[in-house]
Amino acid sequence: MKRTTIQVSNQGATLDTGRRNFLKLSGVGLAIAGLTLIGCDDNDDFNFMDNDVFDLGSGDVGILNYAYALEQLEADFYTKVVNNFYSGISSIEKELFTDLYHHEVIHRDFFKAAISGATSNVLPKLEFQYPNVNFNDKNSVLATAKALEDTGVAAYNGAGKYITNPTYLVIAGKIVSVEARHASAIRNLINPGTAAFSGDDVVDANGLDLAKEPKDIVAAAGGFFKTPFTWKEQGIG
């Protein structure tokens, strides 16, 4: 198979589309096409409030923009990690963070393309801040990655019940399964060879991952978001 390189929007990193990523990228392309054809019934007008703060919208559009906001955050975080690896990083850690970076950039760009094909009410590019994160310290980076991945899984699980379009629900289910793999990998780096990868703090007594409401997720991750947004339908903002 001929190898090509797609430039992604984060400076200092490229996405290899050789054999390793071909099927993954092909699947994303097909999913985008499907979402574009389906479209949304929600109001297509831009949802800016009077003070120019973007509102995520209602119905499935709101859920998609919510997921897009979280994927923007994760992609931005891992971009910073891979563009300046912390001191003393091992080759295994470097490979893992590079893979996580690739996945999150794909997820972010997937949502942007999918939402753009279905509605004009697309969340703009957000800015983020990391006031308590030391990107040159392994423990700080791992702790932040763990928090982001655990929060992402709980966010998808909690938002699923609000999705009405079955195609969107299938896509969300596929993405959350990848996010759960990320969470397990990070937890194993922190506590290798233990049961922490599926700890009792994230898996309940019924063997199910935790699910959290959008309001709780935004409250937990809100400190990272420098660009404000609201989600009136969910009582946020």
Distance (Å, rounded) from C-alpha 35 to C-alpha 115? 8
Residue type, 181: R
Contact status, residue 119 vs residue 61, Cβ threshold 8 Å: yes
Q: Categorize the per-residue pLDDT at 182 as very low, low, confident or very high, splitting at 50, 70 and 90.
A: very high
The dihedral region occupied by 233, where left means phi > 0, alpha psi between -120 and 50, and beta the remainder, is alpha
Strand, coil or helix: 5: strand
Q: Which residue has the higher pLDDT, 1 or 191?
A: 191
Q: Is the pLDDT of residue 201 over 80?
A: yes
Distance (Å, rounded) from C-alpha 35 to C-alpha 118? 7
Q: Which of 105-109, 150-154, 162-166, 206-210 has the lowest mean pLDDT?
A: 206-210
Q: Categorize the per-residue pLDDT at 199 as very low, low, confident or very high, splitting at 50, 70 and 90.
A: confident
Q: Is the pLDDT of residue 189 over 50?
A: yes
Report the chain's mean pLDDT, rounded to a whole number: 83
Tell me what pLDDT residue 202 has: 86
Q: Is the pLDDT of residue 204 over 60?
A: yes
- What are the pLDDT digits (tens) for 44-91? 444 544 468 999 999 999 999 999 999 999 999 999 999 999 999 999
Tell me what pLDDT residue 47 has: 52
Q: Is the pLDDT of residue 29 over 80?
A: no
